[in-house]
Homo-oligomer: A and B are copies of this chain.
């Protein structure tokens, strides 16, 4: 892949993922760099002349905003500020997470409203391109800018603190030296410019959108397999009623499920006897589609943010003004992710109910718990405890947390969103749902095999084949936790979806 050119504008979730997960390098658009330089020049001028009080430049920050900072202390003051903001604690971000944070922060810097020294801006792209990933703690932010965490990136850039480099944790100075990069000396406001950003929460949010895209697709796939295992009635897959209730998301799920099931025995006449299946099965496209609609809202809100400046103050160099503002307030997208948590508890419970129905002879005509013929096999009885307990975890984690903040800094900092924690708990939900969907597919595969159904959908057939490579038919009892682990890995790596999609494209 050629480097991703960043200009502060057209960044998307997909592009961030390229950089974060696939190691794509970045380049800075020259015209964006021009804005960076004009901002910085304006700030320098003001810093020298002291013509205006600028928050965090010649004043303290937070409750200390009433303190004046003399120009001769800029260097020391800004280094101190970085150190004083190093208040994050474990766990630490993965390399993927660090890269997402760096690219998100870099793009917002390129909006040219920060006044950060151009060299420092460029160092963000150097870190990305040289694989220097600062040790970045994930906890400690109240999510009204992640100042306690972003400081650790700044720390590395001045050659202090640690980084992850070539798979090892080393001193930042060492890694930079090896790559021919010089530690930076901070100028006026650079400390504040480094820490005052929601890039931790936003980076995690972007990764979540990507994970959720995959998760909902996987849910559609699991549902399609369930339909074949269940011998489900296909009438809810009829496109006509969708014309009379035109939501985007449900239609997208419908089309994907229909594609996956193209050619399946389910479409043969007189296959299904039931007039209507249980709601969890009948409503799946609507439920998954509701999540798609909600996710589009989340994507839209976060994509506006990552193409914006969330700095305060905002440097309007065109008008030679430095304007205090509240562009750092992330509520607009945090709300969308709180909603996604609740949405996921519906996805989870619906998948759980589908899977419970699949184990019931009343609905399937197959043996209880999908046992093979031998009556001595317990099969999928006890595993219900596992996926239902995970569903309870999902429900627990889906409770909101963003508004549970306290008033800090002598009441100057009386807003909060707990943004990184919102993303982390939503991430934990995603991981639990991945296991639940893996178990649903194990059930569906067992039922399909018990039915000896051979004529499967184009997509489902391919996914089933991939699953069966790692999780064979259950002919007698075995340690199912190993099967769950194997199937979950296939879900997380996207193998099943990939194989299904390849089949559709053939």
Contacts and interface: CB of A to CB of B under 8 A. Distances in A.
A245 B327 contact: yes
Interface in A326-351: 326-327, 329, 331-332, 335-336, 338-339, 342-343, 345-346, 349-350
A250 B332 contact: yes
One complex includes copies of this chain to the number of 4
A283 B329 contact: yes
B276 A329 contact: no
B401 A388 contact: no
A25 interface: no
B385 A141 contact: yes
Interface in A204-247: 233, 235-236, 238, 240-242, 244-247
B382 A405 contact: no
Interface in A439-461: none
A378 B80 contact: yes
Contacts of A336: 294, 339
B396 A381 contact: no
A280 B411 CA distance: 9
A421 interface: yes
Contact of A479 (B155, B247, B349, B410): B155
Interface string A131-169: 000000101111110011000000100000100000000
Interface stretch (A117-125, A173-181, A263-271, A304-312): A304-312
Given A325-B238, A414-B357, A421 B392 contact: yes
Interface string A388-411: 111111011011111111111111
A24 interface: no
B304 A87 contact: no
A492 interface: no
A141 B389 contact: yes
Q: Which of A326, A335, A349, A406 has the largest number of chain B CB atoms within 10 A?
A: A326
Interface residues of A, number: 153
A377 B236 CA distance: 28
A283 B304 CA distance: 18
A366 interface: no
A89 B435 contact: yes
Nearest to A391: B406
A84 B319 contact: no
Given A155-B479, A314-B240, A147 B385 contact: yes
A476 B308 contact: no
Contacts of A476: 80
Contacts of A375: 67
Contacts of A480: 84, 86-87
Nearest to A338: B342
A495 interface: no
B324 A235 contact: yes
A335 B323 CA distance: 37
A392 B352 CA distance: 18
Interface stretch (A40-48, A95-103, A284-292, A463-471): A284-292
A368 B64 contact: yes
A429 B84 CA distance: 26
A477 interface: yes
B276 A65 contact: yes
A398 B400 contact: yes
A342 B343 CA distance: 14
Contacts of A407: 353, 356, 406-407
A256 interface: no
Top 7 closest A-B pairs, CB basis?
Answer: A84-B378, A245-B308, A286-B329, A241-B325, A279-B415, A241-B314, A339-B339
20 contacts: A63-B369, A80-B378, A139-B393, A141-B385, A143-B389, A148-B382, A233-B324, A235-B324, A235-B325, A236-B325, A245-B304, A279-B414, A283-B326, A283-B329, A290-B335, A297-B297, A359-B410, A368-B410, A391-B404, A398-B400
